[in-house]
Amino acid sequence: MDRIQISVKQRPVIDRLSDTLEQAVAYSAAIADNAIDEGISIPSELVVSFEADFYRIIQNLKQAASVLQS
């Protein structure tokens, strides 16, 4: 990501989001491992809720990517 041009104002929040998503991937892998180990699935409503959260994240990022520079 260091080769991508990012403004000084955006750099800390983008870095924070990147770190947070990296942690989220690790947490989700742990949830999957736990479910497999226990043989107990997590509620599908929880998955749908997380899916909606990630959809909102992508929509916000797409909006930020489509801003025209003046």
Q: Mind listing the pLDDT tens digit for each residue in 41-61? A: 999 999 999 999 999 999 999
Q: With a cut of 70, say whether residue 1 has pLDDT above it.
A: no
**How many domains is the chain built from?**
1
Does residue 22 lie in a domain region? yes
Largest alpha-carbon pair distance within the chain?
A: 55
How far, in Å, CA of 23 to CA of 38, rounded? 22
pLDDT grade for 26, boundaries at 50, 70 and 90:
very high
Does residue 3 lie in a domain region? no
Neighbours of 25 (CB within 10 A): 10
Neighbours of 65 (CB within 10 A): 7
Does residue 47 lie in a domain region? yes
Q: With a cut of 80, say whether residue 31 has pLDDT above it.
A: yes
Does residue 4 lie in a domain region? no
Q: With a cut of 90, say whether residue 70 has pLDDT above it.
A: no
Does residue 70 lie in a domain region? no
Average pLDDT over residues 11-17: 97
Does residue 28 lie in a domain region? yes
Domain span at residue 22?
10-65
Does residue 61 lie in a domain region? yes
CA angle 69/17/42 to nearest 5° reads 135
